[in-house]
Amino acid sequence: MCGLGGILRITPPREPAGEYDEIPEAWLDAMDAHLARRGPDGEGRFRDVVTRDDGSIVEIAFVHRRLAIIDPATGQQPMVSTGPDENDLLAIVFNGCIYNHRDLRATLEAEGHEFTTDHSDTEVLLHGYRSTMAHARTDKAGWKAFRSTWLAEQVDGMYAFALWDRRRAEVILGRDHYGQKPLYIARPSPELMVFASTAPAVLDACRLAAPADPRLHRLDEDELVDWLALGYGEETPRELIRVVPRGARATEAPRLSVADGGHFPGAIVLLGIMAFIFVFAVVLATLLVAAAILIVALVLLAPVPPWLLYRRYLTKKDARKRLRSVADDIDALIEHAVLARLEADVPVGCFLSGGIDSSLIAHYAQRALGSSSRLLTMCVRMPDERYDESQFARQVADHIGTEHVTLDAAMDPAADLVFLVEALGLPFADSSILPTYWVSQAVRKHVKVALSGDGGDELFYGYDRYRAARWLQPGVRNAWLLPEQIFDRSDPKSMSDRLARLGVAAKNKGYTDLISIFPTPDLRRIAARTSGRLSLASRFGGAAMARQFDLDAYLPEDLLRKVDTASMICGLEVRCPFLSRDLREVVTHLPPNVLMPDGERKGLLKQVAQQHIPAELLDRPKMGFAIPVGEWFRTDYGGMRALLEDHLGSNDPFGPVVEQALGLRMDAVRAIIDEHMEERRDHSQRLFALLTLSIWSKTIA
């Protein structure tokens, strides 16, 4: 677990040949300042220079900060691997953990690869890349095999990395499928590429490297809408800074030797191909629709055959037996994922809330340790009993037999919020980042690695909103008839408010409106610009579509970004067994009625859990990891009202760039503040989103 950064620069051919100015150390220092907290155990830098055949010069500079978890003695970074000649050099900076690194190492050693570290998981990536490139006929085929086959199909882990290949004078950037580890990138010019684990590290390096670039101060308006509406986005709101794609993909460095001109004939050909594909698709779709209508008509008009009735009878009769079999398979997969995530050369503990997800993980971890050792489980006592799960966690810990600690968090909400927004460098609007940070601070005093239940709700249909999403399917439900104006909106947890939200979602953007901080009517109220990218990604409902949106967007861009930020800033590594590659492959192919038998959210996972933990310990309403931020705004708990008034009550709360990009209406912003303070409507999360946007906007200068 670490923080990484790097700069790649290409200098065009010059006279005299080989002349260039080195990447300034100050650029690297600017990045390092933002990465230091992610890796308090070690630091390192790497530089290399290659002159290409065309005379251009390629420079690479890596920065690394290490949180030493596996192989502290010999796993230092940046890590370099050399071959038989001077051009055969690879270097890597890595953030994360490869859980099956021992198996991969054994396979590579059997191929003849010689490792220099004792048991570093980082070195496995270097030799994995070297192996795939050696077995490929061409560089392009090798690069594709490394990206699409070796990383995607053989590696089980969470990671972000940058790998330098001297022979090819290229940098490859990669991230895991879920995007558990962040990696941001900017290209201030065709000759320059900057990347790092945090957006501020990239931004400050670009400010030094390309101070005149106007994109330093420009915003991506579509992304900014998503960040306000949802609290998160797929990209950053800054036009210059992008996110390296998830899914074990890779990004190659640009080559100056490839000409930029002469694309017009190619564009004509491409348009012709696209036109042919479009016409072919229309014809094919027409034939498929006609065939479907014919089949449906035959089924509806024909009598029901006896064999179908018998099959339906067997399906109902054997349902419990089949579910037990599936539950056993899921049980084994989760246990395997937990075992893989216990390896470390430092103390490992487990977050325990007393809910299904964390309780299952703690059970498997304690069973793996056996009777000779006790797992350390931890729960933070929250000051508000409505959000305090410590008593439930204690009951589960007593049953499992772990060494349990109830921690008291050191909380300074106003100051902590400003610190977190500035450290993340994004207008992140999920208020649970505060308790996540407090938990990480408290847990870090006891362990350097903690197992977490993140991902369980998304994989196993754990949210009530998945059942509500069924009412958003067009032509099936009538939620659009709900007149939201008649409902009491003062309590966001009430059935009245939920029905109002459902009606709003049905009339507008569907599921994304259901989960938005600012659903369409509220967004239109305060901003002229209301169309983002993610907010239009799921117009209609249905449990399966809703879950897929959460797996693709909400989980990586909100939850995992939150956990990485809050934990790594404390020097804590968080591992998520539910995000196992093998578990995802199986669970995502199961239909909703299997994962939610009889419509019960997380029903299948409950069956798994009840094999190990008494139902009475788990059968309680879902509490969630939340804080009463709306009340804190009213009462000034922790200075939150003062912070809100200092920002949103100022003459220029968002700055001209943000205000113009969104078309914000300040009279409407002040109106929702008044509505909330007078308890006419609860705007807790909307005020939190506006507050984080205001804090973040101060960094745009």
pLDDT tier at 486, thresholds 50, 70, 90: low
Same-domain check for residues 607 and 637: no
Query: How many CB atoms lie under 10 A from the CB of residue 477?
Result: 17
Task: Check residue 501 and give its pLDDT.
Answer: 82
Cβ atoms 578, 448 nearer than 8 A: no
Task: Check residue 274 and give its pLDDT.
Answer: 55
pLDDT tier at 263, thresholds 50, 70, 90: very low
What is the span of the domain harbouring residue 385? Answer: 321-411+422-461+572-618
Query: How many CB atoms lie under 10 A from the CB of residue 552?
Result: 18
Cβ atoms 6, 171 nearer than 8 A: yes
Mean pLDDT of the region 391-419: 93
Number of domains in the chain: 3
Same-domain check for residues 130 and 196: yes
Residue 98 within any structural domain of the chain: yes
Q: Is the pLDDT of residue 8 over 90?
A: yes
Same-domain check for residues 143 and 230: yes
Residue 550 within any structural domain of the chain: no
The residue among 596, 618, 640 that closes a domain is: 618
Same-domain check for residues 661 and 588: no
Task: Check residue 351 and give its pLDDT.
Answer: 95
Mean pLDDT of the region 154-168: 95
Using DSSP's 3-state secondary structure scheme, residue 24 falls into coil
CATH number of the domain that residue 198 is part of:
3.60.20.10
> What span, in angstroms and rounded, lies between the C-alpha atoms of 541 and 469?
5
State pLDDT tens for residues 52-82.
988 899 999 999 999 999 999 999 999 999 9
> Cα-Cα-Cα-Cα dihedral of 304, 307, 308, 313, to 10°?
120
Same-domain check for residues 612 and 693: no
SS (H, E, C) 648-677: HCCCCCCHHHHHHHHCECHHHHHHHHHHHH
pLDDT tier at 303, thresholds 50, 70, 90: very low
Same-domain check for residues 58 and 172: yes
State pLDDT tens for residues 634-673.
999 999 999 999 999 998 999 999 999 999 999 999 999 9
* 32 alpha-carbon distance from chain centroid: 23
Q: Is the pLDDT of residue 179 over 90?
A: yes
Mean pLDDT of the region 122-142: 91
Percentage above 90 pLDDT, the chain: 67
Residue 429 within any structural domain of the chain: yes
Cβ atoms 439, 409 nearer than 8 A: yes
Task: Check residue 555 and give its pLDDT.
Answer: 96
pLDDT tier at 481, thresholds 50, 70, 90: low
> What span, in angstroms and rounded, lies between the C-alpha atoms of 87 and 165?
9
Same-domain check for residues 384 and 240: no
Q: Is the pLDDT of residue 307 over 60?
A: no
- Higher pLDDT pick, 644 / 699: 644
Cβ atoms 490, 679 nearer than 8 A: yes
Cβ atoms 352, 406 nearer than 8 A: no
Among 154, 182, 617, 579, residue whose Cα is nearest residue 398? 617
Tokens of 62: 């890596």
- Higher pLDDT pick, 397 / 303: 397
The residue among 252, 284, 304 that closes a domain is: 252
Same-domain check for residues 684 and 577: no
Same-domain check for residues 594 and 678: no
Residue 313 within any structural domain of the chain: no
Please name the helix (run of DSSP H) or strand (run of DSSP E) that holds residue 282, with its range, or none: helix 264-301
pTM > 0.85: yes
> What span, in angstroms and rounded, lies between the C-alpha atoms of 164 and 167?
9
pLDDT tier at 105, thresholds 50, 70, 90: very high
Task: Check residue 285 and give its pLDDT.
Answer: 67
Residue 105 within any structural domain of the chain: yes
Task: Check residue 83 and give its pLDDT.
Answer: 87
pLDDT tier at 683, thresholds 50, 70, 90: very high
Query: How many CB atoms lie under 10 A from the CB of residue 149?
Result: 12
* Burial readout 510-546 (b: 16 or more C-beta within 10 A, e: otherwise): bbbbbbbbbbbebbeebbebbebebbebbebbbbbbb
Cβ atoms 496, 488 nearer than 8 A: yes
Tokens of 579: 């995000």
Same-domain check for residues 204 and 327: no
Residue 551 within any structural domain of the chain: no
The DSSP letter of residue 38 is: G
CATH number of the domain that residue 440 is part of:
3.40.50.620
Using DSSP's 3-state secondary structure scheme, residue 503 falls into helix
pLDDT tier at 370, thresholds 50, 70, 90: confident
Residue 372 within any structural domain of the chain: yes
Same-domain check for residues 54 and 177: yes
Task: Check residue 304 and give its pLDDT.
Answer: 39
The residue among 618, 647, 674 that closes a domain is: 618
Mean pLDDT of the region 132-152: 87
The angle at the Cα of 192, spanning 67 to 211, to the nearest 5 degrees, equals 95
Question: Mean pLDDT, the chain, as a whole number?
Answer: 87
Same-domain check for residues 609 and 641: no
Residue 492 within any structural domain of the chain: no
Mean pLDDT of the region 358-371: 94
Q: Is the pLDDT of residue 376 over 50?
A: yes
Q: Is the pLDDT of residue 503 over 50?
A: yes
